[in-house]
Structure 1
Amino acid sequence: MDDGIDPEKFYDLRLLTDVTLSPDGERVAFVASESDPDDDESRTGLYVVPSDGSRDPHRLTRASTASAPAWGPDGDTLGFLAARDGDLDRRAGRRRDESDDGGDEDGRNGGDGGGGGNGSDGGEGPKPQVWTFDLALGGDARQETDFEHGVREFDFGPDGDRLGEFDFGPDGDRLVVSARDPTEEEGEYLDRRRDDGPIEVTRLQHKMDGAGWLDDVTTYLFVVDRESGETDRLDDAYGAGSAEPLMGLQPSWGSSNRIAFCRSNAEHPDDDGSVDVFTIAPDGADLRRLTDGSMRCMVPTWSPDGDRLAFAGGNHENWYEPTDAYVAPDDADAEYESLSAGLDRTLARGGGLAWLDGETVVAPIADEAWTRLAVLPLDGEPRRSYERQGRQRTICAFDLAGDTVALGLTTPDDTPQAFSLDAGELREDDTGGPIRRLTDLNADWVADAPLPDCEVVSYENADLEEVEAIVYYPDGFDADADGPAPAICSIHGGPMSYDAPEFRFTVAYWTSRGYVVVKPNYRGSTSYGRDFSEALKGSRGDLESDDVISAMDRLVADGVADPDRLFCTGFSYGGITTAHVVTRTDEFAAAAPEHGIYDFHSNFGTDDNHNWHEWEFGMPWENPETYRDISSISRVGEIDTPLLVTAGEEDWRCPPTQAEQLYVSVRKRGIDAKLVVYPNEHHDIGDPSRATHRLEVLTEWFESHDPGEA
């Protein structure tokens, strides 16, 4: 096997994750993630660049991580979240025991914001606060908030997009922020938890991945005066529901001087996945509930005149249905309808909503093996736009302001970069002018690395239905000249997700070592319309594993993949599918189910997805045969494939006991197996050293069971 890319090259990457435009569309702020090898942490840096590409990007933050940028209405103020040492001016001129300490009349000052409700966090060290740069005057950032446990922030989407829980008022003199506000009794409990006291939980949603054990502390919206630092809690704007620790309140302050936010209004919010859109006045008066509890709503986005809201909405009891874009007037019990239903496509991962003008919304959609923009008129038919993007360019970030569109775009042979184009591209009568590349991140890295070729391959599954897979080839690979190659089937999670051509270090690492990498968009993937996605509803194992096996059979038949050197892996739902695949076939030389669920019956109540499992499969004591049917552990006697099984020690999405159960079961049968558990790790792999270790241990497992390496 070729030596390929050194795994340590992962530390050299700087990957764009977010873009946001100034109100006039003239500047783009963007966030890029990077590795800190000394502290073994992933960090993010904040940059700004003119949207016309007239100069190179300027880095604003260097000493600490920064995320979730948001522009003030003046176009010179740029807010962001950061956990930094306190502002010297604030420390010198303000004391927490003085009257302007930012607390409310009861002496409360927000609560534990880190991690969305983890009662055991809130230890020593700075907490996330809102900071702002004045780009007209320059200088260091100014600290705007001083909540004891920080302003909240959330991972939003499968690619780790960050959602900051704050926004500027229309005059720029105030902020709305989200923070937890413990009562005195709750504060005492948090103190005991920080000292390793016992965990005491009374709520049904008792844990959440990335947040850990939950508690009863309520999250509220606070209005912060930027000049004085004084805060006012909006008592009727609070968080509730099983989704709240993941989704937050998502505050948005409109030009009409009203604040929108999202929360559950259900009678038993922890036992219900619905999330409604609300609006409220900044003095806490006139609360209005716009939606009716029938959907899971998110990202409320005000129209330019502030009288309407666009928002994303999906069926909270059927996640296979497309998430659509809606618009509602700012009225209690508003009438609203989908703008995007005619496309039969879901709003894309990591995408938001933006107003092109007062009558048109724009959003990225998942469209087969592609992420592209859709134009959604309030009065007219929705349509796809931006053909010049091309099928090899995937949108990973989006914003729209003024007459400018900002995009994060990635290809299989280039890391995510920032681009801009004129918004006229989104109007049918205007070509929109040239697309401008604004960044050249990782230019030397990309120039030196043997990055893959890629194509989208269509094939038939066993039911004679057409399915697509993204296939990455080693640089310069020619099956006719080189003969069939070893191939890794890498299965996406979700299953409500999809793959599109893009840069991924793992893929580039494997193709550089001579592997073909196959990523099937199996039935259940969300980018091919409701029927394709919903085909998986109520089942596990049969349909998606058939689509995986059929993809590899097609590549073997084409002479691309060596039938004796096939490997299979997947993370999360991809791990679930990998385990099902090896119960059906022995054609893989080795497999690696990662961070998956293999016994849904024993898993019920131990993860954070009890509501999902209930609406899809019913209760395990009512439908034991269903839970047995969907569990690969029920057919562990059919597994003969060597397995590498991985888990995060504190994974509450797919608990590590699931990995242990599969590992012990196959070992009892004498199957070659290995268990890898990452201590103190949640569902995802965070630290750079663990990301590279994961890649190396997977590759070593495949190589050690590769007959071509013997």
Structure 2
Amino acid sequence: MDERIDLEEFYDLRLLTDLALSPDGDRLAFLASESDPDADESRTGLYVVPTDGSRDPHRLTRASAASAPTWGPDGDTLGFLAARETDLDRRAGRSGDDHDGSEGADGSDDGEDGGSNWGGGRTDDDPRSQVWTFDLARGGDARQETDFERGVREFDFGPEGDRLVVSARDPTDEEAEYLDRREEDGPIEVTRLQHKYDGAGWLDDVTTYLFVVDRESGETERLDDAYGAGSGEPLMGLQPAWGATDRIAFCRSSADDPDDDGAVDVFTVAPDGADLRRLTDASLRCSVPTWSPDGTRLAFAGGNPENWYEPTEVYAASDEAGADRESLSASLDRTLPLGGGRPAWLDDEHVVSPIADEAWTRLAVLPLDGEPRRAYERQGRHRTVSAFDLAGDTVALGLTTADDTPQAFALDAGELRDGGTGEPIRRLTSLNADWVADAPLPDCDVVGYENSDGERVEAVVYYPTGFDPDEDGPAPAVCSIHGGPMSYDAPGFRFANAYWTGRGYVVVKPNYRGSTSYGREFSESLKGSRGDLESDDVVSAMDHLVAAGVADPDRLFCTGFSYGGITTAHVVTRTDEFAAAAPEHGIYDFYSNFGTDDNHNWHEWEFGMPWENEATYRDVSSITRVDEIDTPLLITAGEEDWRCPPTQAEQLYVSVRKRGVDAKLVIYPNEHHDVGKPKRATHRLEELTEWFRRHDPGVTKGEELGRSGGR
């Protein structure tokens, strides 16, 4: 077998991304991302599989991407969001008015406020995201449940399954006229402090509300007191959840100036819009509210709205205004994974949640009355949780290792109640089985080492298949630095890791100080600073591997994306030991950056205002030490990245070129902070690899790196 992975194989992968268990736990819906090479788009397919492992998964969607799989209470209705062509049932007939679309979302008769619009009125060619449902008992294609003019962002089923709660934008007539002008490239007009958000674009004053939708009649009712607000709302949404006692939970800011405040509260409201209750007190950044089975309590994630280095904890509170809340996970000193899914109720007295635990993501059982405990050692060697759900008597896990793509597994919830050990896990999927069997996937280990301050730090290290430094000698090594910094690396499959290890590189991913999975003290050590601690931990990792004979000191390379790009730039101001580096989508001048990205509140909290603390902003900026950079730099950016604006990449590029440093600038048009299109993703990996090869003293001109030819 050849030992290389071709870039084109990226298009063959189908990667599990999300899980949703049916109420009885007997069936699992999951999403898998995949590439559409002809359209150059990433899409997600929706699948269902029985959790007893009795048959292979069945694919439900084929024509378009799906998201947010959500089961109805009957266990046969499966809802999802998709931007599909309007349901034929809504278009049949000469006028398409069978559903009586005369009423707008607020009961008015003008149909102009972005609400339910059954009879048409849409002029956009591109469909908006709506709620669709499959009836798995009767079969057939999905049914369109909503027709909001501006689309639906989130939804949940009512306890009887006959109603939906959805979040949707609801512009006034004046706001709708402005949106129409914007769609025709009219001038942008912003009055909000949070004037932009990465991926969402330039922000406007249109309010997002919760609506209750009757599934049979299509009638909608807007809940006037359940609306979106806050600087984080473009990313977080309202996160509606409908409980067993017929109340709806959601999250929003209640601050006087929500764009200038990071706090987010948990609210509940009756489905007719009455009896609004605020459960929290504006002291937390709350998210993912989840009802207990009896509908009397909510579990939710809560973090410090200013100090993001503090662990985000799991809280529980009763459904009462100003309720007393209790942290269920505080004594663990561990955070919830960013974007790692919501906590789930094992029963009315226990919550289960993923936690970030050193170089792993694992489960914790959190009793309402008692001490929290970790569930299982690690779900298997070097296996980490990538997705999670719990329902009935079943726990569903997405698990990944370095040598397998994420797969879905199921286990009995009783094992969590009883504190079981071992591997009571049923594998439900075999995504990419043939590809995995043939691919030269890496070996992996978590390596501990000391930084220059004598503190223990860990790195996740990926090795070429069968690599033995005693026999093979030291290898070229790529240090790949995670973003955040409120994040961490855990063993798992990444195409880039396999691509590089298949070409003979060792890939090193340090969990530098500031990484959130080692407790508050380790994470908070980075607070108020940039560059010194992280770069020390990065350099110390490479020095450790060089001393161990794993990494070739003349063939070291460094790259990182987002905060990893920020750190990469600091690393090359600190040392010249890397043959080449690639800071990607980073910030290099925090002073000039202020107000041009979507993170002004974070920067203000951590560093103060730039005109009041100019010295601090200059000190945390790598651009002020650009005269110390001699390492060749490949610098990348997204043209519409508003988390780390492309002007930052331009500044760094021009500055090092002025000094005569070999450098290249790559800008991805129409891309935001992430590089989303498959052709861009493969191009990015190819650019990085070619940059390292070009500056690798162990590679002669025209020579391919690695121990054998391509696959």
> Which TM-score applies when normalising by structure 1?
0.96
Note if contact 2:102-2:111 (Cα within 8 Å) is conserved in structure 1: no
For 1:663, the equivalent position in structure 2 comes to: 653
For 1:157, the equivalent position in structure 2 comes to: none
Q: Which amino acid aligns with 2:132?
A: W
SS of 1:346's equivalent in the other structure is coil
For 1:333, the equivalent position in structure 2 comes to: 322
For 1:551, the equivalent position in structure 2 comes to: 541
For 1:531, the equivalent position in structure 2 comes to: 521
Q: Which amino acid aligns with 2:630?
A: D
For 1:46, the equivalent position in structure 2 comes to: 46
Note if contact 2:23-2:73 (Cα within 8 Å) is conserved in structure 1: yes
Is 1:104 matched with 2:94?
no
Shift of residue 387, structure 1, vs aligned partner: 2.4
SS of 2:441's equivalent in the other structure is coil
Greater CA drift, 277-286 or 380-389: 380-389
Partners of 1:21 and 1:109 in 2: CA distance: 37
Partners of 1:55 and 1:465 in 2: CA distance: 50
Residue 168 of structure 1, aligned match among 128, 150, 157: 157
Note if contact 1:112-1:122 (Cα within 8 Å) is conserved in structure 2: no
> For residues 510 and 590 of structure 1, do their structure 2 counterparts lie closer, same or farther at Cα, with a shift above 3 Å needed?
same
Note if contact 1:95-1:101 (Cα within 8 Å) is conserved in structure 2: no
Note if contact 2:583-2:636 (Cα within 8 Å) is conserved in structure 1: yes
Q: Which amino acid aligns with 1:76?
A: D
Partners of 1:441 and 1:555 in 2: CA distance: 34
For 1:243, the equivalent position in structure 2 comes to: 232
> For residues 102 and 47 of structure 1, do their structure 2 counterparts lie closer, same or farther at Cα, with a shift above 3 Å needed?
farther
> For residues 189 and 435 of structure 1, do their structure 2 counterparts lie closer, same or farther at Cα, with a shift above 3 Å needed?
same
Deviations along 1:74-115, one digit per CA (max 9) or x if unpaired, are 0000000001011111222652994456633233576499xx
SS of 1:410's equivalent in the other structure is strand
For 1:693, the equivalent position in structure 2 comes to: 683
Shift of residue 426, structure 1, vs aligned partner: 0.8
Note if contact 1:327-1:337 (Cα within 8 Å) is conserved in structure 2: yes
- Aligned residues: percent identity? 82
Shift of residue 337, structure 1, vs aligned partner: 1.5
Give ranges in structure 2 of 5+ residues lacking alignment. Answer: 117-121, 701-711
Q: Which amino acid aligns with 2:213?
A: V
Partners of 2:289 and 2:280 in 1: CA distance: 12
Q: Which amino acid aligns with 2:688?
A: L
Partners of 1:432 and 1:561 in 2: CA distance: 35
Matches within 5 A, 1:598-637: 598-637=588-627
For 1:95, the equivalent position in structure 2 comes to: 97
Aligned residues: 690
Q: Which amino acid aligns with 1:139?
A: G
Greater CA drift, 536-545 or 424-433: 424-433
Is 1:348 matched with 2:337?
yes
Partners of 1:317 and 1:122 in 2: CA distance: 43
SS of 1:31's equivalent in the other structure is strand
Partners of 1:457 and 1:50 in 2: CA distance: 38
Is 1:71 matched with 2:61?
no
Partners of 1:108 and 1:570 in 2: CA distance: 49
For 2:26, the equivalent position in structure 1 comes to: 26
For 2:709, the equivalent position in structure 1 comes to: none
Partners of 1:641 and 1:495 in 2: CA distance: 23
Greater CA drift, 428-437 or 700-709: 428-437
SS of 2:517's equivalent in the other structure is coil
Partners of 2:451 and 2:501 in 1: CA distance: 25
Partners of 1:489 and 1:123 in 2: CA distance: 46
Q: Which amino acid aligns with 2:246?
A: N
For 1:223, the equivalent position in structure 2 comes to: 212
For 2:257, the equivalent position in structure 1 comes to: 268
Q: Which amino acid aligns with 1:402?
A: G
> Which TM-score applies when normalising by structure 2?
0.95
Partners of 1:594 and 1:96 in 2: CA distance: 53
Partners of 1:690 and 1:39 in 2: CA distance: 13
Deviations along 1:525-549, one digit per CA (max 9) or x if unpaired, are 0000000000000000000000000
Partners of 1:111 and 1:677 in 2: CA distance: 36
Residue 203 of structure 2, aligned match among 211, 214, 218: 214
For 2:119, the equivalent position in structure 1 comes to: none
Shift of residue 294, structure 1, vs aligned partner: 0.4
Q: Which amino acid aligns with 2:309?
A: Y
Is 1:587 matched with 2:577?
yes
Residue 474 of structure 2, aligned match among 466, 484, 489: 484
Note if contact 1:19-1:408 (Cα within 8 Å) is conserved in structure 2: yes
Partners of 2:514 and 2:589 in 1: CA distance: 20
Partners of 1:519 and 1:240 in 2: CA distance: 37
Partners of 1:581 and 1:354 in 2: CA distance: 41
SS of 1:454's equivalent in the other structure is strand
Deviations along 1:195-246, one digit per CA (max 9) or x if unpaired, are 1000000000000000010000000000000001110000000000101001
Note if contact 2:362-2:378 (Cα within 8 Å) is conserved in structure 1: no
Partners of 2:628 and 2:658 in 1: CA distance: 13
For 2:448, the equivalent position in structure 1 comes to: 458
Q: Which amino acid aligns with 1:523?
A: R
Is 1:505 matched with 2:507?
no
Q: Which amino acid aligns with 1:134?
A: D
SS of 1:578's equivalent in the other structure is helix
For 1:125, the equivalent position in structure 2 comes to: 126
SS of 1:389's equivalent in the other structure is coil
Partners of 1:372 and 1:96 in 2: CA distance: 50
Note if contact 2:309-2:486 (Cα within 8 Å) is conserved in structure 1: yes
What is the alpha-carbon root mean square deviation over aligned residues? 1.6
Q: Which amino acid aligns with 2:445?
A: E
Shift of residue 434, structure 1, vs aligned partner: 2.7
Is 1:467 matched with 2:471?
no
Shift of residue 348, structure 1, vs aligned partner: 1.8
SS of 2:587's equivalent in the other structure is coil
Partners of 1:127 and 1:150 in 2: CA distance: 5
Partners of 1:548 and 1:290 in 2: CA distance: 43
For 2:13, the equivalent position in structure 1 comes to: 13
> For residues 23 and 361 of structure 1, do their structure 2 counterparts lie closer, same or farther at Cα, with a shift above 3 Å needed?
same
Note if contact 1:122-1:149 (Cα within 8 Å) is conserved in structure 2: no
SS of 1:693's equivalent in the other structure is helix
SS of 1:451's equivalent in the other structure is coil
For 1:143, the equivalent position in structure 2 comes to: 144
Partners of 2:393 and 2:336 in 1: CA distance: 22
For 2:57, the equivalent position in structure 1 comes to: 57
Partners of 1:432 and 1:695 in 2: CA distance: 38
Q: Which amino acid aligns with 2:647?
A: T
Partners of 2:415 and 2:509 in 1: CA distance: 31
For 2:85, the equivalent position in structure 1 comes to: 85
SS of 1:709's equivalent in the other structure is coil
SS of 2:601's equivalent in the other structure is helix
Note if contact 2:106-2:221 (Cα within 8 Å) is conserved in structure 1: yes
Partners of 1:579 and 1:613 in 2: CA distance: 19
Shift of residue 26, structure 1, vs aligned partner: 0.2
SS of 2:396's equivalent in the other structure is strand
SS of 2:516's equivalent in the other structure is coil
Partners of 1:622 and 1:609 in 2: CA distance: 18
Q: Which amino acid aligns with 1:65?
A: A
Partners of 1:517 and 1:434 in 2: CA distance: 32
Structure 1's consecutive aligned runs of 4 or more residues displaced over 6 angstroms after TM superposition are: none
Residue 290 of structure 2, aligned match among 264, 280, 301: 301
For 2:706, the equivalent position in structure 1 comes to: none
Is 1:596 matched with 2:586?
yes
> For residues 633 and 122 of structure 1, do their structure 2 counterparts lie closer, same or farther at Cα, with a shift above 3 Å needed?
farther
Note if contact 2:379-2:423 (Cα within 8 Å) is conserved in structure 1: no
SS of 2:518's equivalent in the other structure is coil
SS of 2:285's equivalent in the other structure is strand
> For residues 535 and 90 of structure 1, do their structure 2 counterparts lie closer, same or farther at Cα, with a shift above 3 Å needed?
same
Partners of 1:380 and 1:63 in 2: CA distance: 49
Shift of residue 428, structure 1, vs aligned partner: 3.2
Partners of 1:92 and 1:462 in 2: CA distance: 71
Deviations along 1:614-661, one digit per CA (max 9) or x if unpaired, are 000000000000000000000000000000000000000000000000
Partners of 1:458 and 1:490 in 2: CA distance: 16
Note if contact 1:301-1:311 (Cα within 8 Å) is conserved in structure 2: yes
Deviations along 1:560-580, one digit per CA (max 9) or x if unpaired, are 000000000000000000000
Note if contact 2:113-2:172 (Cα within 8 Å) is conserved in structure 1: no
